[in-house]
Amino acid sequence: MPFLSTTQSISLAMIPFLFNFLVFITPLIFFPKTSELFEFNKIIAVYFITILIISSWITKVALQRKIRLRRTILDVPILTFLIALTISTFFSIDTRTSLFGYYSRFAGGLVPTFTFAMLYFAYVSNMGAKETKKVITTIIIASIIAGVYAFLEHFGIGISCLIINGKMDTSCWIQDVQARVFGTFGQPNWLAAWIVGVLPLIWNSKLNFKLIISSIMFAALLFTGSKSGLLAFSVIFIIYWGINRRQVKLISKLLLTIFFIIVLSRISTPKNNLPPGNNDLITPSSEIRQIVWQGALDVWKNNFLVGTGPETFAMSYYQYRPTKHNLTSEWNFTYNKAHNEYLNYAANTGLIGLAAYLALLLTCLFIFIKNKNYDLFAGFTGILITNFFGFSTVPIFLLLFMLPAFSITLKSKEQSTKHIKLDRLPVKQWSLIITILCTMSYALFTVAKYWYADYLYAKNTTESLKQAVRYFPNESVFRVSLAEHYDGEEKTVEAFEEAQKTVHLSPRNVKLIKQVGIVYLSLAEKDPKYYDYAYKTFNYLASLAPTDAWVFYYLGRTSLLMGNTEDSLKYLNFTLEIMPRNKNARKLRAYIYLELNSKKEAKDDLLYILENISPDDPEIKKLMSDL
């Protein structure tokens, strides 16, 4: 039948096309009008394309009346990993976050991980060596585009800004993108991890101008300023060229080129524009990482077997956050990842999740060595190194699941599914195909609605937020923003209702509950009864974040507004015990001491501010002169 034959041809052609499109678009896509420009749009693209791939695969099975699910050595490790994540999700402190990922960091949840696993199974079951070689070429092409894109940023030529504000410079970014480029990835370390993962593929390719391409990619890596990326590069260079050491001429040229790029980058790198002295206030990232890692270990120790749930680190870390985090320049940042993928899995999914994840990684390395795919082995190893100091983003998750799929299909003697002659289909097959099309349409519509809801959320108006909430009423991020807007419009009842719903939906999300507490304080300025709600909220936060100076400062401030000076001093004293340089707490305590006529204590606090925190503060200077 012509119709069936055409449908089969489309389903057979669609799968290779979609995999090529997936690996091309994922590293490159971003959109400036969503709440998160990079990761959100990448995961949406992955969802869309995965739905189309799986639908094409099942349609092909229905037409050919033959299930082709290829068995591989990775089947058990992947399924074990998914089971471990499912168990951890069942016991999660925030089920929605564990399912879909932390909002703004959309990889790592159960649904995204299941999606990447399905891509793996679809790939090995439908793609052969010939198709894989084309997909690898597509990855290389996309990577070259991303590398050139980032390379130009270093010299002030920003294609992103041309898209965002019509100017081909770097003025659209708050970050100093010329000093640390990030291209289409959103963060320098994320770009570095991708470059490290694909560079061995470029070295192993038969492309012309390989030396030039490798040089541009290395320069882009260097311009990220990523220490973990450069460390990983050193390792993959030794691995790949150590195995391919007979190519002496190319190795010599590469080493010489790398030397010149490093020298030239030292000349061309923009100077730090921070005023003198400001660098002293910035805590080194290595020091902060050690603190966060200690907190992650404490989370794991107290939730040893199943963790607190996939992607819940932003919530669980507050419970065990080391007190010395208050002494860093990032004391008030929300850490949604442990900045070490392995500790992240340990804290989030416990022993079962970490063991399953490590078994999956080791099996992948075994596959590369067994099949002698040393380019894939080197790239995969590079990613494991960058993940030791960071975490997997959407593009990196894609590589983690696709690289072993490439190795398996490249060495396979099996061919991708061919066109077969079709007779009339029975009613059951027609019913299955219609069901597939309906399910696919619904799934695509749901993903599109999810994207549109975020687009409305990013518009950040009361009407757009109301619409976003209508689309996804269980998204607490939307509700707390709507509460803030209602508060700004003095719609007290509506603001209060949305604030309460936020806490109900996310009772362990410290960041959102902090916003709720601020909303209650603002509402209390119009109606004092809300002071009680604010106090109870901050008191509840103190149980979730017992070492967070911000929480205890607001407990002290709220207590003072409620007329309880004694409790206010108690909370402020504790705030300054765990964070002596907290200016707001010192100033507020100084005002309380002045009210109590304790001038010596007030003077001590004011003097501390001038000597250690803010020597030119005119308000503090005036108070001191009055004393």
What pLDDT band is residue 263 in, cutting at 50, 70 and 90? low
Q: What is the pLDDT of residue 119?
A: 98
- 38 pLDDT more than 90: yes
- 311 pLDDT more than 70: yes
Average of per-residue pLDDT across 208-235: 92
Q: What is the pLDDT of residue 275?
A: 43
Q: Is residue 64 part of a domain?
A: yes
- 419 pLDDT more than 80: no
Lowest model confidence (mean pLDDT) among 385-389, 420-424, 587-591, 605-609: 420-424
- 619 pLDDT more than 70: yes
Q: Looking at 545, 568, 591, which one is the last position of a domain? A: 545
d(CA 9, CA 420): 9
Question: SS in 3 state form for 416-432?
Answer: CCCCCCCCCCCHHHHHH
Considering only residues 302 and 413, tell me which one the structure prediction assigns the higher pLDDT.
302
d(CA 204, CA 6): 37
Lowest model confidence (mean pLDDT) among 65-69, 276-280, 480-484, 551-555: 276-280
Q: Is residue 439 part of a domain?
A: no
Structural domains in the chain (count): 3
Q: Is residue 435 part of a domain?
A: no
d(CA 261, CA 259): 6
Query: CA dist 412 to 71, 360, 420, Å?
Result: 12, 20, 21
Q: What is the pLDDT of residue 417?
A: 57
Query: How many Cα atoms sit within 13 Å of 330 on the Cβ side?
Result: 13
Q: What is the pLDDT of residue 277?
A: 42
Average of per-residue pLDDT across 526-544: 97
Long-range contacts of 236-245 (CB under 8 A, 24+ apart): 236/196, 236/199, 236/200, 236/378, 236/379, 236/381, 236/382, 239/200, 239/374, 239/377, 239/378, 239/381, 240/200, 240/203, 240/204, 240/374, 240/375, 240/378, 241/203, 243/374, 244/203, 244/374
What's the pLDDT tens digit per position in 556-592? Answer: 999 999 999 999 999 999 999 999 999 999 999 999 9
Average of per-residue pLDDT across 111-121: 97
Helix and strand counts by DSSP (H, E) for the chain: 27, 0
The three-class DSSP label of residue 105 is strand
Instruction: Of 598, 546, 545, give the one whose Cα is nearest residue 569.
Output: 598
- 278 pLDDT more than 50: no
Are 398 and 43 contacting, i.e. CB atoms less than 8 angstroms apart? Answer: no
Q: Which domain holds residue 481?
A: 460-545
- 598 pLDDT more than 70: yes
- 203 pLDDT more than 90: yes
Q: Identify whether residues 376 and 405 lie together within a single domain.
A: yes
β strands within 181-339, DSSP E: none
Q: Identify whether residues 341 and 474 lie together within a single domain.
A: no
Q: Looking at 498, 515, 545, which one is the last position of a domain? A: 545
- 175 pLDDT more than 80: yes
Q: What is the pLDDT of residue 279?
A: 46
Q: Is residue 448 part of a domain?
A: no
Q: What is the DSSP letter of 205?
A: S
Q: What is the pLDDT of residue 621?
A: 85
Q: Identify whether residues 205 and 233 lie together within a single domain.
A: yes
What's the pLDDT tens digit per position in 429-444? Answer: 778 788 888 999 999 9
The three-class DSSP label of residue 282 is coil
Q: What are phi and psi of 105, to 5 degrees?
A: -130, 95
Query: CA dist 103 to 36, 108, 339, 393, 509, Å?
Result: 9, 11, 17, 13, 11
What's the pLDDT tens digit per position in 130-147? Answer: 999 999 999 999 999 999
Q: Looking at 529, 545, 561, which one is the last position of a domain? A: 545
Cα dihedral: 373, 212, 135, 124 (round 10): 20
Q: What is the pLDDT of residue 291?
A: 97
What pLDDT band is residue 470 in, cutting at 50, 70 and 90? very high
Q: Identify whether residues 521 and 597 lie together within a single domain.
A: no
Are 14 and 416 contacting, i.e. CB atoms less than 8 angstroms apart? Answer: no
Give the domain CATH number at 593: 1.25.40.10
Q: Identify whether residues 494 and 571 lie together within a single domain.
A: no
Q: Identify whether residues 249 and 173 lie together within a single domain.
A: yes
Cα dihedral: 277, 278, 280, 285 (round 10): -160
Q: Identify whether residues 319 and 358 lie together within a single domain.
A: yes
Average of per-residue pLDDT across 300-308: 98
Q: Is residue 497 part of a domain?
A: yes
Query: CA dist 191 to 147, 171, 391, Å?
Result: 9, 20, 12
Are 129 and 196 contacting, i.e. CB atoms less than 8 angstroms apart? Answer: no
- 102, β-bridge pairs: 105
Q: At what angle do helices 313-320 and 341-371 cross, to 10 degrees?
A: 130
Q: Identify whether residues 258 and 402 lie together within a single domain.
A: yes
Pull the structure tokens for residue 348.
């989030």
Q: Is residue 415 part of a domain?
A: no
Buried b (16+ CB within 10 A) or exposed e, 317-356: bbbbbbeebbbbeebeebbbbbbbbbbbbbbbbbbbbbbb
Q: Identify whether residues 202 and 235 lie together within a single domain.
A: yes
As a whole number of Å, the end-to-end CA separation of the chain is: 96
CA angle 447, 450, 456 (to 5 degrees): 145
Give me the percent of the chain exceeding a pLDDT of 90.
Answer: 79
- Would you mind telling me the total number of residues written for the chain in this entry? 627
Pull the structure tokens for residue 484.
């803030």
Q: What is the pLDDT of residue 9?
A: 62
Q: Identify whether residues 296 and 170 lie together within a single domain.
A: yes
Q: Is residue 277 part of a domain?
A: no
Pull the structure tokens for residue 523.
């509402």
Q: Identify whether residues 333 and 477 lie together within a single domain.
A: no
d(CA 413, CA 128): 8
Q: Is residue 79 part of a domain?
A: yes
- 3 pLDDT more than 60: no
Instruction: Of 277, 264, 229, give the one whose Cα is nearest residue 155.
Output: 264
Q: Identify whether residues 357 and 473 lie together within a single domain.
A: no
Q: What is the pLDDT of residue 27?
A: 97
Average of per-residue pLDDT across 396-407: 98
